[in-house]
Amino acid sequence: MIEPRILRILKDIVGKENVSADRADLICYSYDATQQQFLPDVVVHPGSAHEISLILKMANSEKIPVFPRGAGSGFTGGSLPISGGIVLVTRRMEQILRIDEDNLVAVVEPGVVTEVLQQAVEKVGLFYPPDPASLKFSTLGGNVAECAGGPRCVKYGVTKDYILGLEVVTPQGDIIKTGGETMKGVVGYDLTKLMVGSEGTLGIITKIIIKLLPLPEAKKTMLVLFDSIDGAAKGVSAIIRGKIIPTTLEFMDATTIDCVRKATNLDLPAAAKALLIIEVDGDADLIERQAARIQEIVAPLGVVATRIAATAAESDEIWKVRRSVSASLRKVNPDKFNEDICVPRSKVPEMIRTIEGIAARHQVPIVNFGHAGDGNIHVNVMIDRAVSGEMEKAEMAIEEIFGATLKLGGTMSGEHGVGITKAPYIPMELDPAAVAYMKTIKAALDPNNILNPGKIFLADQN
How far is the C-alpha of 108 from the C-alpha of 96, rounded, in Å? 4
Query: Which sign does the torsion angle of CA 279, 127, 189, 454 carry?
Result: negative
DSSP state, residue 187: S
Closest CA to 206 of 328, 318, 88, 125: 88
pTM of the model: 0.94
Mean predicted lDDT score pLDDT of the chain: 95
Assess if residue 72 is contained within a domain. yes
Residue 246 has pLDDT above 60, yes or no: yes
Residues 6+ apart with CB under 8 A from 454: 82, 83, 420, 423
Assess if residue 45 is contained within a domain. yes
9 and 73 in a common domain: yes
**What pLDDT score was predicted for residue 265?**
84
402 and 321 in a common domain: no
Confidence of residue 461 (pLDDT cuts 50, 70, 90): low
303 and 273 in a common domain: yes
The rounded percent of the chain whose pLDDT value lies above 90 is 94
Structural domain for 298, as ranges:
218-327
The CATH number of the domain where 73 resides is what?
A: 3.30.43.10
42 and 74 in a common domain: yes
Assess if residue 438 is contained within a domain. no
316 and 294 in a common domain: yes
373 and 301 in a common domain: no
The CATH number of the domain where 194 resides is what?
A: 3.30.465.10
192 and 121 in a common domain: yes
How far is the C-alpha of 101 from the C-alpha of 260, rounded, in Å? 42
247 and 206 in a common domain: no
| DSSP three-state, residue 256 | helix
- Tell me the Cα Rg of the chain: 23
Residue 462 has pLDDT above 60, yes or no: no
83 and 111 in a common domain: no
Task: Pick the last residue of a domain from 73, 89, 105.
Answer: 89
Q: What is the pLDDT of residues 408-442, one digit of tens each?
A: 999 999 999 999 999 999 999 999 999 999 999 99
Closest CA to 131 of 103, 107, 111, 161: 161
| Cα 383 → chain centroid | 22
Domain count, the chain: 4
Residue 459 has pLDDT above 80, yes or no: no
207 and 126 in a common domain: yes
Assess if residue 26 is contained within a domain. yes
| DSSP three-state, residue 227 | coil
**What pLDDT score was predicted for residue 184?**
93
203 and 103 in a common domain: yes
More confidently predicted of 323 and 48: 48
**What pLDDT score was predicted for residue 432?**
95
**What pLDDT score was predicted for residue 262?**
86
**What pLDDT score was predicted for residue 364?**
96
Q: What is the pLDDT of residues 13-34, one digit of tens each?
A: 999 999 999 999 999 999 999 8
| DSSP three-state, residue 384 | coil
Q: Are 416 and 344 in contact (CB under 8 A)?
A: no
Assess if residue 447 is contained within a domain. no
Read off the pLDDT of each residue in 291-301 and give the average, rounded to a whole number.
Answer: 97
295 and 340 in a common domain: no
DSSP state, residue 98: E
**What pLDDT score was predicted for residue 301?**
97
Task: Pick the last residue of a domain from 89, 120, 143.
Answer: 89
The CATH number of the domain where 401 resides is what?
A: 3.30.70.2740
For the stretch 15-22, contacts whose Cβ atoms lie closer than 8 Å and that sit 24 or more positions apart, written own/partner, are: 18/44, 18/45, 18/46, 18/47, 18/92, 19/43, 19/44, 19/45
Read off the pLDDT of each residue in 371-393 and give the average, rounded to a whole number.
Answer: 95
Assess if residue 318 is contained within a domain. yes
Read off the pLDDT of each residue in 442-453 and give the average, rounded to a whole number.
Answer: 97
Assess if residue 316 is contained within a domain. yes
Q: Are 269 and 402 in contact (CB under 8 A)?
A: no
Q: What is the pLDDT of residues 110-127, one digit of tens each?
A: 999 999 999 999 999 999
Task: Pick the last residue of a domain from 159, 183, 214.
Answer: 214
Read off the pLDDT of each residue in 90-112 and give the average, rounded to a whole number.
Answer: 98
**What pLDDT score was predicted for residue 264?**
85
Assess if residue 458 is contained within a domain. no
Q: What is the pLDDT of residues 206-228, one digit of tens each?
A: 999 999 999 999 999 999 999 99
